[in-house]
Amino acid sequence: MAAFLITGATGLIGQALCQRLLNNGETVFALSRNCQKAAKILGSQVQCFESVDSIPLDHHIDVVINLAGAPIVDKRWTDARKQILLKSRVDYTRNLIDKLSKRSSLPHSFISGSAVGW
């Protein structure tokens, strides 16, 4: 079985994805700003980390699925909001790739989804 690192794991798609992976016997790690909230939503089978740096180096990650980003439906899309949506995806993804690239064992797959079109 593979080890998956999911960002945006507490979102609508992330929750369903985590559950599907767990049902298939996969190992699931989540990155979340709030691991207490993530534990309530995802359950105890998902190990949560607040940053890539906090993931122990002996935790091998096979696949990263990046679903992180500010919610797109909760507020009007003003110019300022569009910038928040863009930064929460682009800057976060750049930082994630930078941090992961410094690990001695790299994931073999990196999948990133985004919903920023307007």
Q: How far is CA 91 from each of CA 6, 56, 69, 83, 84, rounded to the nearest angstrom?
A: 17, 23, 10, 11, 10
* Residue 48 pLDDT: 96
Contact criterion met (CB below 8 Å) for 55 and 35: no
Pairwise CA distance, residues 31 & 8, whole Å:
7
- Of the two residues 21 and 68, the one the predictor is more confident about is 21
* Residue 86 pLDDT: 86
The pLDDT tens digits of the residues spanning 52-100 come to 889 988 889 999 999 988 888 788 889 999 998 888 888 899 999 999 9
Q: Rounded to two decimals, what is the model's pTM?
A: 0.88
Domain 3-112 has CATH 3.40.50.720: yes
Contact criterion met (CB below 8 Å) for 71 and 12: no
Radius of gyration from C-alpha coordinates of the chain: 14
DSSP letter, residue 52:
G
- For the beta carbon of residue 82, count every other beta carbon within 10 angstroms: 12
